[in-house]
Amino acid sequence: MKITTMLRRTTALVLAALPLAAMPLLAQDAAAQAAKKIKIGFVTTLSGPNAAYGQDMKQSFDLALEHLGKKMGGIPVEVVYEDDEQKPEVGKQKTEKLLQRDKVDFVAGYIWSNVLLASYKPVVDSNTFLISANAGPSQLAGEQCNPYFFSASWQNDQNTMAMGELLNQKGAKKLYLVAPNYAAGQDMVNGVKSMFKGEVVGQDMTKWPDQLDFSAEISKIRAAKPDAVFVFFPSRWGVQFYTQYAQAGLKKDIPLYSAYTVDAVTLKLQKDLALDTFLTLWWAPDLPYAANQKFVADFKKKHGQTPTFYGAQSYDAANLIASAVTATKGNLKDKNAVRAALKAAKFDSVRGPIKFGNNHFPIHNIYQQEVYKVSDSEYDIRTVSTVLKDFQDPYASKCAMK
């Protein structure tokens, strides 16, 4: 009897303990899924004549991490920066190195659309999330949209579609378009033309990236006598075009409208050349949102200058990734949960209200901006009005994702 009783008691204790034992095992299993370190690869241009923009992106991404305490969801973060040298083939090589050797959890960055397009497939094919901090080619917003791709910036056409609307509001009837002949340039002019209600009297797609002499295009503009000229020329190309346009005496007679051609870096050289021109963009240093005011103030304090929109987008990219890591408690193996958290966009963006469309590109406001003179030696950009509110790119309808 004593042996039987002891067996019964032992069996009862074992059975009672089983559910309790299973609970810590499940907790341990869940904890084991959480990453011990978040590893991010960031590809941008860190050498050559456009290195200033890559540095602005890097500095802004680093600033976001400082504001996050260099942790995401309580987990330490490591960033591996790579220089694409503004070459698609180099960008692809550096991207593959991040995936295969560094084993990163996220890939971010990319200034140039042609570099992003070359690097895109290796990332998404590896089921790694790619967060663009600038380039927004139309292909990736439409039929080539992918569950593993998100844009923390914009789709290329968005801002120039707003420019087309601004031209309508300003009463322009005849328009001349000039842009470089590569993926982004093509998207930019298509964006303007899709919204502009007047007549396009001329269009030139210049050689990219070698052409810096625009005298032939400017002569054609003079002969066409348009009401307005739209240009997309980032970085030094924008400085050259503005300089040559003013030297030709056209600035006083034919107003310039531009996107991504004037920023905190180019303004140091463009100066008065950028006054009395028209800009559209989703972000400006003076937007009143708390996240933006902190970003701009701390960037100026740390680096002694105003950040560019390239930096603003990179700051958002870091916070977007952090929001997903926090929401999933660092369980990056659950790709569906990470994707849902990224799409939810639960972070304070420097642009204010933001949400993602079905194609994972932002739906946001786009503003008219102008350059103003702060002092004899300092220039800045300010917001004038909202041109398009909660605006979605036109390619979302071609994306099969819901």
CA–CA separation, 84 vs 119, rounded Å? 10
- Asked if 190 and 270 sit in the same domain, the reply is yes
CA–CA separation, 67 vs 121, rounded Å? 32
Give, for all 402 residues of the chain, the pLDDT tens digit: 444 444 445 444 444 444 444 444 444 454 556 779 999 999 999 999 999 999 999 999 999 999 999 999 999 999 999 999 999 999 999 999 999 999 999 999 999 999 999 999 999 999 999 999 999 999 999 999 999 999 999 999 999 999 999 999 999 999 999 999 999 999 999 999 999 999 999 999 999 999 999 999 999 999 999 999 999 999 999 999 999 999 999 999 999 999 999 999 999 999 999 999 999 999 999 999 999 999 999 999 999 999 999 999 999 999 999 999 999 999 999 999 999 999 999 999 999 989 999 999 999 999 999 999 999 889 999 999 999 999 999 999 999 999
- Asked if 261 and 295 sit in the same domain, the reply is no
**Residue 116 domain-assigned (yes or no):** yes
At 160 the three-state DSSP class reads helix
pTM as predicted? 0.89
CA–CA separation, 372 vs 144, rounded Å? 40
Using the 3D structure, point to which of 240, 261, 281 is the last residue of a domain: 281
- Asked if 132 and 274 sit in the same domain, the reply is no
81 close to 55: Cβ distance less than 8 angstroms: no
CA–CA separation, 323 vs 72, rounded Å? 8
Question: What is the chain's alpha carbon radius of gyration, rounded to the nearest angstrom?
Answer: 25
Query: Residue 361 maps to which CATH number?
Result: 3.40.50.2300
Domain count across the chain = 2
- Asked if 96 and 200 sit in the same domain, the reply is no
For residue 110, give the nearest of 122, 125, 127 by alpha carbon: 122
CA–CA separation, 292 vs 350, rounded Å? 4
- Asked if 116 and 170 sit in the same domain, the reply is no
